[in-house]
Amino acid sequence: MPRTALDGVKVLDLTQFESGTVCTETLAWLGAEVIKIERPERGELGRYSYEEPGVDALGFIIVNANKKSITLNLKSEKGKEILRELITKCDVFIENMGPGAIERLGFGYEDVSKINPRIVYAQIKGFGKGSPWENFPSFEPLAEATGGSASLTGDPEGPPMQPGADFADSGTGYLTAIAILAALYQRNSTGVGQQIEVAMQDVVIGFCRASFEQQLRYGRATPRVGNGMALDNVAPCNKYPCKPGGPNDYVHIYTSRAPGSMQWKYLCETIGRMDMYEDPRFATPQSRYLYRHEIDAAISEWTMKHTKFEAMEILGAAGVPAGAVMSTDDIIKDPYLRQRGIITEITHPVRGKLLIPGFAPKMSDSFVPVTCAPSLGEHNMEIYGGLLGMSEAEIESLKKDKVI
């Protein structure tokens, strides 16, 4: 097999649920050997399926592809001893436990860096060090709330809304992976690792960066704009109904606010309403916003004659920005996305064949086939016997003592 981008990099994964697991899955998809440490018998909390006890949760399978699972009791002295030995042989240590938990186990950054000064040590928390909320637990919706995203999402007259995409969890995972890659690169010149701390609140604020333009311009909170543009009150910019009228049968249409743009003209030509293009009331994106309800009605009259994909194709071919509202069902059945590997098939030992989201970046000289999330402790023999050189008798003794 050809070398991969992170060939030879070993990652100790002490993460759970989504933010940390997305980070380590990203590193695994880039070719790192990710060793996921889980509780004996129970495994990571995210493994548990409330609907089907005893079977790996679907959410766990989605965010733990390409990893190796070992069991290890970190509350036992023998378990801690084994973890210290693993630390000497790995390049990255990452955890997203509750605030202070890893330090109480004796594996804070100072402890780990003394064992292996070259290790890149990454932590994901809800809030940053020094925050008045530093010791608070956090999850996706809390980070969306405190990071500004919820305040920007929803109808202008309605309450703040939780975004559908997991910007806090998955976004934090991706950004942490980027920081880890940078630290590994820096280690080539310094010879030592470093500590990385990423707070979910901070990441969400970063994703909202464009919305701060209105804050700076007007000196007040950027408002919710529904399907509009957060940067300015312009039209048309909305999701328009299409046939046959299902809950996701909509197409989003937006024409640029840039001076000299011909997209508004192309839209009017395409829907057969050049009278709107010639109407002085609709001369600018801002003036069109004042009459947006009239414009939206005219556009909807045209879109309702087409499916969302037909509307997207007709408008796109005419130079008008348009995008069908694709549901998860649309995406998972899309032949192009299947062919590209954005939706990829895995085989789970209990659940059988499953389609899961794949890895977005495509690299010419690094290809890592997607493999299923590991069964609990599936790689105990490989890691303990291979990496640490334990005998079968030693491994069996550890199992009997409930260390692994």
Domain end marker among 288, 306, 324: 324
* 197 and 88 together in one domain: yes
Structural domain contains residue 222? no
* 85 and 151 together in one domain: yes
Q: E-assigned strands of 4-158?
A: 10-14, 33-38, 68-71, 92-95, 120-125
Q: What is the domain extent for residue 118? A: 10-206+334-400
* 175 and 287 together in one domain: no
Domain end marker among 324, 358, 384: 324
* 129 and 261 together in one domain: no
* 313 and 344 together in one domain: no
Structural domain contains residue 229? no
* 111 and 191 together in one domain: yes
pLDDT digits (tens, 9 = 90+) for 323-370: 999 999 999 999 999 999 999 999 999 999 999 999 999 998 999 999
Q: How far is the C-alpha of 27 from the C-alpha of 21, rounded, in Å?
A: 10
Q: How far is the C-alpha of 187 from the C-alpha of 113, rounded, in Å?
A: 13
Structural domain contains residue 219? no
Structural domain contains residue 67? yes
What CATH number does the domain containing 315 carry?
3.30.1540.10
How many structural domains does the chain have?
A: 2
pLDDT digits (tens, 9 = 90+) for 142-155: 999 999 999 999 99
Please tell me whether residue 196 adopts helix, strand or coil conformation.
strand
Closest CA to 25 of 2, 49, 46: 46
* 45 and 175 together in one domain: yes
Structural domain contains residue 3? no
Residue 207 — pLDDT band, cuts 50, 70, 90? Answer: very high
pLDDT digits (tens, 9 = 90+) for 63-84: 999 999 999 999 999 999 999 9
Active-site annotation, residues: 169
* 61 and 142 together in one domain: yes
* 25 and 47 together in one domain: yes
Please tell me whether residue 215 adopts helix, strand or coil conformation.
helix
The whole-number pLDDT of residue 2 equals 61
Domain end marker among 324, 356, 386: 324
Average pLDDT of span 150-167 = 93
Give the single-character DSSP code of 232: S
Structural domain contains residue 211? no
Structural domain contains residue 215? no
Structural domain contains residue 56? yes
* 72 and 141 together in one domain: yes
* 73 and 96 together in one domain: yes
Q: How far is the C-alpha of 226 from the C-alpha of 207, rounded, in Å?
A: 17
Give the single-character DSSP code of 210: G
What CATH number does the domain containing 339 carry?
3.40.50.10540
* 137 and 196 together in one domain: yes
The whole-number pLDDT of residue 343 equals 97
Element (H, E) at 199: strand 195-199
Average pLDDT of span 172-200 = 98
Average pLDDT of span 241-252 = 97
